[in-house]
Amino acid sequence: MQDELLAVQAKWQKANIIGIVRQTPRVTSFFFKPALPFFYRPGQHVDVRLSAPDGYQAQRSYSIASAPDSSETIELAIERLDDGEVSTFFHDAAEIGDEIELRGPIGGHFVWTTEDGGPVLLIGGGSGVVPLVSMVRHRAAQGSAAPVLLLYSARTWDELIFRDELLGLAQRANGFDLSLTLTREASPRENHYARRIDPAIIEDVLARLPMPPKLAFVCGANAFVTTAADALISAGVPANIIRVERYGV
């Protein structure tokens, strides 16, 4: 069974775009229906491949935003990068009904399910929040009471991906807590931050958990992850419970 699963993960398969939703000025969610059964865990990602008529191919990896509990579709929140071949195609040309190729799921270290328990601290910068949102959605779908706190950093209020959904989940007061920090403007909400993540913010959010975290996940640009992980270690969080996912420079 394991060999069969690995074979499916390594194989490229066709997937159709069945939905497109704008999230922020630069991030849009694309919903895909794979041709083959697709089983994944929150935090995993996929490879996406585009092929031109002349045989040229471009490939990019994207974290999965949807939770495996929700439906048979896969949601990828794709940020437009002006020099990105794949992201500009999706933002400028992709339409519902288009067929693309994807492969996965990929990654076994940066994953969390309700069976892992908590408390869990999630730290995301920019589009690095996407795999963490998959974990948050999974928790909600399972009706889990595991304490989870998401610390999410973005440049502006309008660039917070899944902002309203996350604020709504936090209002349920069922063990999911949300802390936002904006780096280029003041937050319109109280009890949030208006600066880059620093050791003081990390100390604050750790104190909001009912007990020290069982696991901590950090995802974002390379410099962001380094800063956040170093601050966690300085705050006394054991390095062996910190899981990181990096992109860019």
Residue for token pair 């502006």: 156
pLDDT at 69 (0 to 100):
85
Predicted confidence band of residue 1 (pLDDT cuts 50, 70, 90) = very low
Same domain, 154 and 209: yes
What is the residue-averaged pLDDT of the chain?
A: 91
Same domain, 57 and 151: no
pLDDT, greater one: 104 or 187: 104
Integer CA distances (angstroms), 235 to 46, 117, 244, in order: 33, 22, 17
Query: Where does residue 27 fall: left (phi above 0), alpha (psi -120 to 50 degrees), or beta otherwise?
Result: beta
What is the per-residue pLDDT across 106-161, written as a single tens digit (0 to 9) for each?
A: 988 999 999 999 899 999 999 999 999 999 999 999 999 999 999 999 999 999 99
Same domain, 88 and 145: no
Residue 45 · residue 131 · CB < 8 Å = yes
Same domain, 127 and 190: yes
CATH number, position 27: 2.40.30.10
Give percent of the chain with pLDDT exceeding 70: 95
pLDDT at 211 (0 to 100):
95
Integer CA distances (angstroms), 142 to 81, 168, 182, 200, 217, in order: 34, 17, 30, 33, 20
Residue 47 · residue 103 · CB < 8 Å = yes
Same domain, 62 and 167: no
* Domain end marker among 105, 140, 159: 105
Mean pLDDT across 81-89:
86
Mean pLDDT across 179-184:
94
Domain with 86, as residue range(s), is: 2-105
Same domain, 133 and 227: yes
Please give the model's pTM, rounded to 2 decimal places.
Answer: 0.92
pLDDT at 249 (0 to 100):
52
pLDDT at 2 (0 to 100):
42
* Domain end marker among 79, 105, 131: 105
Mean pLDDT across 176-181:
95
Three state DSSP letters for the chain: CHHHHHHHHHCCEEEEEEEEEECCCCEEEEEEEECCCCCCCCCCEEEEEEECCCCCEEEEEEEECCCCCCCCCEEEEEECCCCCHHHHHHHHCCCCCCEEEEEEEECCCCCCCHHHCCCEEEEEEHHHHHHHHHHHHHHHHHCCCCCEEEEEEECCHHHCCCHHHHHHHHHCCCCEEEEEEECCCCCCCCCCECCCCCHHHHHHHHHHCCCCCCEEEEEEEHHHHHHHHHHHHHCCCCHHHEEEEEECC
Residue for token pair 């991030």: 27
Same domain, 239 and 158: yes
What is the per-residue pLDDT across 16-72, written as a single tens digit (0 to 9) for each?
A: 999 999 999 999 999 999 998 889 999 999 999 988 777 788 889 999 999 998 778
Same domain, 127 and 243: yes
pLDDT at 127 (0 to 100):
93
For 209-240, letters b (16+ CB in 10 Å) and e give: beeebbbbbbbbbeebbebbbebbeeeebeee
Query: Structurally, how many domains does the chain consist of?
Result: 2
Predicted confidence band of residue 14 (pLDDT cuts 50, 70, 90) = very high
Same domain, 98 and 172: no
CATH number, position 161: 3.40.50.80
pLDDT at 83 (0 to 100):
81
* Domain end marker among 72, 105, 138: 105
Same domain, 38 and 124: no
Same domain, 130 and 230: yes
Same domain, 240 and 165: yes
**Residue 99 above 90 pLDDT?**
yes
What is the DSSP pairing of strand 215-221 with strand 120-125? parallel
pLDDT, greater one: 17 or 89: 17
Give percent of the chain with pLDDT exceeding 90: 75
